[in-house]
Chains A and B, each alone.
Chain A
Amino acid sequence: MSALLSVSDAHVAYGKVEAVRSVSLEVGTNEIVTIVGANGAGKTTLLSAIMGILPLKGRVAFAGQDLAQLDIEDRVAMGLGLVPEHRELFVTMNVEDNLELGAFRIERSKAKASMERVYALFPRLKERRKQLAGTLSGGEQQMLAMGRALMGEPKLLMLDEPSLGLAPIIVADIFRIVTELRAAGVSVLLVEQNAQAALKIADQAYVMELGEFVLSGKASDIAANERVAASYLGFQHEGESAV
């Protein structure tokens, strides 16, 4: 099977400390893959390294091409998109400018249609299109970050903790949109602490602990796994029962 994204034997280190050890994963086309795990397991580090923000030892291939020599902007141009945990919006610019810049690499004629699609997915953004990104609520900022990444017409969208710090009703909305993206032909690699919600919508799942994958398989199987249920889902029930 030729996966859209394939990572094999990846190591990521901060100086001498290895935050990610010998990790391999695959994301197919039209697939939602989730990486769940506790805070500090190395999930964000792994996504940053796949995007080229951090140096990675091992092999990462996207759409059949080795990414080793490519920097962040080249990966974006190939169709790899990342919505980072801190969203990294252009806070002093308005919603529309943020979106327009998301399509920096795309032909002008296509960008218009892209913007309409994003507005259809996130009608709230259309209402706020002249508002400065920094003045949006947390949920709206998350929508804008996703919208900006979608403007670049990614084949694979990597989402880092999209539900973090958001109200339950907005979280539900964002997870619904993630499934809509799959239907529209965008694969999603979703990193979440909210394991329960993530496993519900994902096709495949990986469980990460202390920089390593300890379990992988179908999301439904992982959700049914006793060990996962005990260490993540149970915890989620008590600690973040809101979702």
Chain B
Amino acid sequence: MNTTIMLFLVQDGITNGAIYALLGLALVLVFAVTRVILIPQGEFVTYGALTYASLAAGQMPGTAKLALALGIGAFAFDLFEARKALHGRLIVRGLITNIALPAIVLALTLYFAAQKPPVAICIALSLVIVAMIGLYIYRIAFQPLAHTSVLVLLIASVGVHLALQGLGLLFFGAEGQRGPALLSGAFTAGALRFTGQSITVYAITIAFIVGLWLFFGLTLYGKALRATAVNRLGARLAGIRTTLSGQIAFLLASVIGALSGILIVPITTLYYDSGFLIGLKGFVAAIIGGLVSYPLTAVAALVVGIVEAFSSFYASNYKEVIVFMLLIPVLLLRSLAAPAVEEEKD
């Protein structure tokens, strides 16, 4: 193989790896804070991508309506849970975050969809819509189960994934879509050609990772999230609500998912069910990071991306197989390193 091809493959691998890194980080975050293995992460990717692509094509995405429907559901859950101690402030707050917000976004989406809005508005709307869906899904599907075992949460997670995938088919149809590039143009450096899109992918991934790092290291809410991940009871005793941490984690995960989707959809055609496989690759990285280590996850994601690029060049029929086989030696090593199965504490 010549160097040019190799460089191409590495470049391609890093672009994909950057996306997997974002997804892997989101998975680690959600698992550490809520113990949910977020299978629907892939749906956040497709929803973000296809909402963006639909809006850019001047079509009305069904996700905006879904957000409102889920918001109404979340509001009903809030009311039911607080039924013994209902007070005005709680109702007003619920009405604003669960109903008024998605209703306004739906109205904006209806207005803009009719007139092929500029890319920036498409991105903003897609991110907000998917963020709301993530938040309300946490409220409806996971918050009531917060005290149950990892297995129950996983089953709920699979359920949410299947439901969202089905709805995705309903909203976007079986046809694949592509979105407009975020940054057009390209330049060459030596043998390599960098497209505006791939530069955008690198820049946004790096910006997001730095942003997350600052958020967790410097802000009170970021620290509260870490605290919940380290010691749930300790956090509660400090007055940090597990629900609040869960909401922030899901909000971040859904925004990261949607953003990844928006970054990919100008490069690859995405279908309503493409997210699952993309999410799984982020998951492979997260597993290599032991579902706890952020840096290890990010590095593993780059490895996954590069392995995928090379295997699609040499044995494209087997590329998924090869990527997922990465897990076997990692799991073997991990099981050898930690022979005792740790009992779940809470």
Q: Are A and B part of the same complex?
A: yes
Q: Give chain A's interface residues, CB within 8 Å of chain B.
A: 51, 53, 69, 72-73, 76-77, 81-82, 84, 87-93, 97, 100-102, 104-105, 108, 148-149, 151-152
Residue among A69, A77, A92 with the highest chain B CB neighbour number at 10 A: A92
Q: Is B84 an interface residue (CB 8 A)?
A: yes
Residues of chain B contacted by A108 (CB below 8 angstroms):
220
A104 in contact with B234 (CB, 8 Å): no
Q: Could you tell me if B223 and A97 are in contact, using CB atoms closer than 8 angstroms?
A: yes
Question: How close is A103's CB to chain B, nearest CB, in angstroms?
Answer: 8
Residues of A within 8 A of B240 (CB): 73, 101, 104
- A89 to B223, Cβ gap below 8 A? no
Q: Say yes or no: B235 contacts A84, CB within 8 Å.
A: no
* Alpha-carbon separation in the docked complex, A81 to B223 (Å): 20
Flag if B230 contacts A101 (CB, 8 Å).
no
Chain B 226-258 interface 0/1 with A at a Cβ cutoff of 8 Å (1 = within): 110011011111111100000000000000000
Say yes or no for B285: interface residue by CB 8 A criterion.
no
Q: Enumerate chain B residues within 8 angstroms of A77, measured Cβ to Cβ.
A: 239
Taking a contact as CB atoms closer than 8 A, the residue among A72, A82, A100, A151 that contacts B223 in the complex is: A100
Candidates B223, B227, B236, B237; contact of A149 at CB < 8 Å? B237
Contact B227 A93 (CB under 8 A): yes
Name 13 A/B residue pairs within 8 A (Cβ), A-sorted: A51-B237, A69-B85, A72-B236, A73-B236, A73-B240, A81-B237, A84-B233, A89-B231, A90-B235, A92-B230, A101-B224, A101-B227, A104-B224
Are the CB atoms of A91 and B224 closer together than 8 Å?
Answer: no
B84/A69 in contact, CB under 8 A: yes
Q: Which residues of B contact A73 (CB under 8 A)?
A: 236, 239-241
Whether A88 contacts B220 in the complex (CB less than 8 A), given A77-B239, A93-B226, A105-B239, comes out as no
Interface centre among A51, A93, A102, A104 (most CB of B within 10 A): A104
CB distance from A181 to the nearest CB of B (A): 17
The 8 residue pairs across chains A and B that have the minimum distance between CB atoms: A88-B234, A76-B239, A105-B239, A72-B236, A90-B230, A90-B227, A104-B239, A101-B238
Query: Which of B231, B236, B239, B240 has most A Cβ within 10 Å?
Result: B239
Measured CA separation A90–B238 after assembly (Å): 11
Please give me the residue from chain B that is nearest to A83 by CB atom: B237
B213 to chain A, nearest CB (A): 15
Q: How far is the CA of A69 from the CA of B86 in the complex (A)?
A: 12
Please, how many angstroms separate the alpha-carbon atoms of A92 and B235 in the complex?
A: 13
Within 8 A of A (CB), among B82-140: 84-85
CB closest residue in chain A, given B236? A72
Q: Which residues of A contact B223 (CB under 8 A)?
A: 93, 97, 100-101
Q: Considering only CB atoms, which chain A residue lies closest to B243 in the complex?
A: A73
Minimum Cβ distance to chain A for residue B70 (Å): 25
Contact A84 B85 (CB under 8 A): no
- What A residues does B239 contact at CB under 8 A? 73, 76-77, 104-105, 152
For residue B225, give the distance in angstroms from its CB to the closest CB of chain A. Answer: 10
Residues on B with C-beta less than 8 A from A72 are 236-237
Q: Are A84 and B237 in contact (CB under 8 A)?
A: yes
Residue among A84, A90, A92, A102 having the largest count of chain B Cβ atoms under 10 Å: A90
Closest to A106 in B: B239
Q: Given A69-B85, A93-B230, decide whether A101 and B237 contact each other with a Cβ distance below 8 A.
A: no
CA–CA, A136 and B302, complex, Å: 36
Contact present for B226 and A88 (CB under 8 Å) = no
Residues from chain A with Cβ under 8 Å of B238 in the complex: 76, 101-102, 104, 148, 151-152
**Distance of A53 Cα from B232 Cα, bound (Å):** 12
Q: Is the CB of A90 within 8 A of B226?
A: yes
Q: How far is the CA of A105 from the CA of B237 in the complex (A)?
A: 11
Which residues of the partner chain A approach B234 to less than 8 Å between Cβ atoms? 87-90
A contact residues around B227 at 8 Å (CB): 90, 93, 97, 101
New A-B pairs, 14, CB < 8 Å, besides A84-B233, A97-B227, A100-B220: A69-B84, A88-B234, A90-B226, A90-B231, A90-B234, A91-B230, A92-B226, A92-B230, A101-B224, A101-B235, A104-B240, A151-B238, A152-B238, A152-B239
Complexed CA–CA distance, A108 and B235 (Å): 18
State A102–B237 Cα separation when bound (angstroms). 8
Tell me, in angstroms, the Cα distance from A43 to B299 when the chains sit together.
Answer: 48
User: A104–B220 contact, CB under 8 A?
Assistant: yes
Q: How far is the CB of B9 from chain A (nearest CB, A)?
A: 37
- Residues from chain B with a CB closer than 8 A to the CB of A88 are 231, 233-234, 237
Q: Which residue from chain A places its CB closest to the CB of B232 in the assembled complex? A: A88
